[in-house]
Amino acid sequence: MLEHVEEFDKYLNECNRVLRKGGLLFLSTHGTWQFHAAPYDFNRWTHLGLKSLLTRHGFEVIGCNPVLGQLAVPTQLRLAFFESFANSIGTVGKILFKPVAMLGQLKLMIEDKLTPARVKERDSAIFLLTGKKN
């Protein structure tokens, strides 16, 4: 959710303030992803940028897990587009979208399995981070 935080330095300083020494911080945020204001969408990140950000704010990065590598991202983005379109045409669209979604999810899972770990670490749709307060 870090992409929705406008003042992330202030946010992470506050996380550091309220956590005890050794306390854990769990974050999720986007690398490669579509704009989605809910209500705001401010940032995109790389694994290096996220690790640097947490370290600067007094956290030891103990995990940075990538989710959805480069091969799977286009499929996920297309599915999001088709779902939006299907919802805009009502009940029939929602019904027709279900088999498309099932096939798309299968394709996405295969693509993600085929993406090498080194590529996913570098470029992924989502990053899940765990930081430990120093």
- pLDDT tens per residue, range 7-63: 989 999 999 999 999 999 999 888 877 777 777 888 888 888 899 999 999 999 999
Q: How far apart are CA 9 and CA 50, in angstroms?
A: 12
The neighbouring-strand residues paired with 64 are: 129
Query: pTM here?
Result: 0.76
Structural domains of the chain, with CATH: 1-69+119-134 (3.40.50.150), 71-114 (no CATH)
